[in-house]
Amino acid sequence: MGNCKSSSRARLGKAHVVPDSEWRMQDFGKTHVPDLEWRINDFSSLLETGAKSAKSDAFHCSGYNWYLQVSPMHKEIGSETPYVALCLKISQASMVPGHTVHVVFELSIYNHTKGMYCGCKDTYNFHFKNTYSKEQCLIPLQELLKSSAFLVDDSCVFGVEILKIDVSSPEKKAVVVQKKDTTVQNLFVQKKGFVKGTYTWNMNNFLELDLDHFVRSPTFEVGGHKWYIRIYPRGDKYSTDCLSLYLFLDASDELHLESKKVVVMTLSILDQKNGKRLTATSGLLVFTGGHGWGWADFLGLMKLKDPSGGYVVGSSCIVKADLTIVGSSNDG
């Protein structure tokens, strides 16, 4: 998927501020042509999951893979008003260590009444350890829910247009944002009938594993699909002195031939001495065969090795995955 526009489209038309002071948006007019158009169907169902965020599938632009993330109940520090907020994420796998990618972009939501996108312009310096832009609040959640302009048949359309990319590196190159068609994605959230599954991986030989590489669990099934856990005992290339932990959809799974699954997951390492566990829970994520999501800095190595912690007892380490399939995603 490579869907971008040329730098000749980088300029904005004159923006008009929406009168409501609580709305952090401008009318973009016809100059805004998104690289990603992302329709979230069953928006009320998304809220009912209680997830803090939902992430799009990847879209490609100018040599990098990107994701758009929506936080439907984001609260700024010192405020009790929940906002619908957007942020842009760059794929770590697209990044080169030591490079900084300076990006100018627009985050938006479609106004059906006006027939145009509204949103805000932003800039951000992405680098290997900092892959998420700042969350930009667009509209109070309650205003969105009662709006017939932005919420139509319980669905919202969000967008992002990447206007300019500069790379700070020894080469100090500017990247030409190439003109391609808009990537269209649809996210569907089920109203009920979520498929849930749990898998516990007991490693009795943890200290005997090849600690310099990853180790994968046996394959397990949830919702008729094959999954596995991948662990990097000494961390992967994205971590900082931490164990890395991921959940993968097996590459042999034929899901790539169908719509992709939208999942909320929790990964845990059990504290065998104190009856506790260290956990991390995701928002809504799109899974495709052979790809995974997780945390590079899941657990610090010093904490992992601490005898009082109970994460490794003798040579035993217990990892658990809880996942809930809440919907599907496809390309429009």
Paired sense of beta strands 242-249 and 276-281, if any: unpaired
Instruction: With H, G, I as helix, E, B as strand and everything else as coil, classify residue 331.
Output: strand
Lowest pLDDT segment from 15-29, 83-97, 315-329: 15-29
Spatial distance between the Cα atoms of 322 and 320, rounded to a whole number of angstroms: 7
Average pLDDT over residues 257-276: 89
Q: Report the range of poorest mean pLDDT among 161-170, 279-288, 290-299.
A: 161-170
Q: Would the pLDDT of 170 be above 80?
A: no
- Do residues 116 and 30 lie in contact, with contact meaning Cβ atoms separated by under 8 Å? yes
Separation CA 10–CA 32 (nearest Å): 9
CA distances from 230 to 6, 316, 325 (A): 39, 16, 19
Question: Is 128 strand, coil or helix?
Answer: coil
**Which pLDDT score is estimated for 9?**
23
pLDDT band at 14 (very low <50, low <70, confident <90, very high): very low
Residue type, 17: V
Closest CA to 94 of 37, 175, 38: 175
As a whole number of Å, the end-to-end CA separation of the chain is 12
Specify the pLDDT at position 19. 36
In one-letter notation, the amino acid at residue 321 is A
**Which tens digits make up the pLDDT trace of 224-255?**
999 999 999 999 989 989 999 999 999 876 65
pLDDT of residue 134: 96
**Structure token digits, residue 19:** 């009168």
**pLDDT value of residue 129:** 86
Residue 133: is its pLDDT beyond 80? yes
The CB density around residue 120, as the number of other CB atoms within 10 Å, is: 17
pTM for this predicted structure: 0.88
pLDDT at 290: 86
Residue 286 CB burial class (10 angstroms; 0-12, 13-18, ≥19): buried
Identify the pLDDT of residue 324.
97
> β-strands 136-140, 83-90: how paired?
antiparallel
Tell me the H-state helices in 81-131: none
For the cut 50, the answer to whether the pLDDT of residue 10 exceeds it is no
Q: What is the pLDDT of residues 36-72, one digit of tens each?
A: 999 999 999 999 999 999 999 999 998 899 999 999 9
**Residues facing 122 on adjacent strands:** 105
Whether the per-residue pLDDT at 13 is higher than 60: the answer is no
Give residue 188's Cα distance to chain centre.
Answer: 16
Record the tokens describing residue 243, joined without a space.
């164990």
Q: Report which secondary-structure segment, H or E, holds 302.
A: helix 301-305
pLDDT of residue 266: 98
Contacts of the segment 45-50: beta carbons below 8 A, 24+ positions apart: 45/154, 45/189, 45/190, 45/191, 45/327, 46/72, 46/189, 46/284, 47/72, 47/73, 48/191, 49/189, 49/264, 49/284, 49/326
**Predicted confidence band at 180 (pLDDT cuts at 50, 70, 90)?**
confident
Decide the pairing of beta strands 83-90 and 100-111. unpaired
Domains and CATH numbers, the chain: 7-189 (2.60.210.10), 195-331 (2.60.210.10)
Characterize 307-332 residue by residue with b for buried, 16 or more Cβ atoms within 10 angstroms of its Cβ, and e for exposed: eebbbbeeebbbbbbbbbbbbbbeee
d(CA 166, CA 164): 7
